């Protein structure tokens, strides 16, 4: 049960003007959270997601991720106004953007390329966040292969072992992790600002045709990981990838590393949903081991 009056007060404080929210209506918010749309006395629209009180840090990480994307000035993402914890719920309030399915794929490719040109000296982020409902560890490293093995592949492998991945599958995964550097013999990724969870459900466009991305799992890493995930779950046309490559060329080794990078998300699917994803992950591990 959200205390809507308290949300109005919190918003008033954040925005430094008097906000009185009207009765909210429930809207789609994905698998994890409850979501509402509402407006204030001036007709300004707000989008609110809520969860249990313990999920406040998830919303705080989301808020900082959206802020990082906004700061890049490369692609639109919703502005965040406040995140708070109440007695029985935590919540995040952001601007409500009226959206439609993204059709402006050429512009999207261009804007993603611009976002990926935001760089840092180290891989990772200043805080952990979540990928789906799974914790995502972002401890910073100077070296991408170390980061990706430790914070990504081995992290999910350990979770998967706990969730029932067989010993053989786990051991093969560790063998891969120990040999990942092979895929970087002639390619040195830079630490780019990433969305981190760019599947088709996390991208739309506003009513004037500007692409909008949301629900990020932001960190600084190899931009190929965003591209690989975009291919994995669909929702993006070839004109998006062509446009991206025109503005920020892609290394030819990407086609092999794509499988490596998507292994993270398939292992995460195994950890979230179980079932056949363990077999799919093992198939990917096998294909990659054959490349060694």
Stretch that binds a copy of itself, among 24-32, 73-81, 120-128, 145-153 (CB under 8 A): 24-32
Q: Are 154 and 139 in contact (CB under 8 A)?
A: no
Stretch that binds a copy of itself, among 10-18, 60-68, 117-125, 264-272 (CB under 8 A): 264-272
Task: Please identify, using beta-carbon distances, which residue of 127 and 276 lies nearer to a copy of itself.
Answer: 276
Residue 99 interacting with a copy of itself (CB under 8 A): yes
Q: Are 228 and 150 in contact (CB under 8 A)?
A: no
* DSSP codes joined into one string, 68-134: HHHHTTSSB-PPEEEEEE-SS-EEEEEE---EE----HHHHHHHHHHHHT-EESSBB-SS-EEETTE
Residue 107 interacting with a copy of itself (CB under 8 A): no
Check 197, 215, 222, 226 and give the catalytic one. Answer: 197
Residue 250 interacting with a copy of itself (CB under 8 A): no
What's the token pair of residue 231? 């291919």
Stretch that binds a copy of itself, among 27-35, 38-46, 123-131, 184-192 (CB under 8 A): 27-35
Tell me whether residue 197 is one of the annotated catalytic residues.
yes
* Chain center to CA of 116: 14
Alpha helices in the chain (DSSP H): 4-15, 56-71, 105-116, 144-147, 154-162, 167-178, 224-233, 238-247, 254-273, 277-289
Out of 53, 135, 209, 276, point to the residue binding a copy of itself (CB under 8 A).
276
Residue 1 interacting with a copy of itself (CB under 8 A): no
What are the catalytic residues?
Answer: 197
Residues lying near a copy of itself in the complex (CB under 8 A) are found at: 28, 30-31, 99-103, 105, 163-166, 169, 199-204, 234-237, 266, 269-270, 272-280, 282-283
């Amino acid at each position: 049960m959200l205390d809507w009056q308290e949300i109005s007060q919190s918003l008033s404080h954040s925005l430094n003007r008097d906000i009185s929210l009207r009765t909210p209506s429930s809207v789609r918010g994905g698998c994890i959270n409850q979501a509402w749309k509402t407006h204030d006395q001036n007709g300004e629209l707000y989008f609110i997601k809520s969860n249990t009180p313990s999920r406040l840090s998830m919303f705080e990480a989301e808020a900082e991720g959206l802020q990082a994307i906004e700061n890049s000035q490369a692609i639109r993402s919703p502005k965040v106004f406040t995140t708070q914890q109440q007695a029985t719920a935590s919540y995040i309030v952001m601007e409500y953007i009226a959206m439609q399915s993204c059709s402006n794929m050429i512009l999207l490719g261009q804007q993603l390329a611009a976002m990926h040109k935001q760089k840092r000296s180290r891989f990772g982020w200043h805080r952990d966040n979540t990928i789906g409902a799974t914790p995502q560890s972002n401890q910073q490293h100077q070296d991408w292969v170390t980061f990706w093995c430790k914070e990504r592949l081995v992290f999910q492998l350990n979770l998967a072992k706990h969730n029932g991945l067989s010993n053989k599958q786990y051991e093969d995964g560790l063998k891969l992790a120990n040999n990942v550097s092979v895929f970087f013999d002639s390619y040195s990724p830079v630490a780019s600002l990433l969305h981190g969870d760019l599947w088709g459900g996390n991208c739309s466009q506003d009513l004037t045709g500007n692409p909008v991305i949301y629900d990020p799992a932001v960190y600084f890493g190899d931009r190929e990981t965003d591209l690989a995930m975009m291919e994995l779950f669909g929702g993006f046309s070839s004109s998006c990838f062509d446009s991206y490559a025109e503005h920020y060329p892609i290394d030819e080794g990407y086609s092999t590393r794509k499988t490596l990078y998507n292994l993270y998300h398939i292992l995460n699917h195994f950890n979230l949903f179980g079932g056949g994803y363990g077999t799919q992950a093992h198939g990917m591990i096998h294909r990659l081991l054959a490349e060694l």
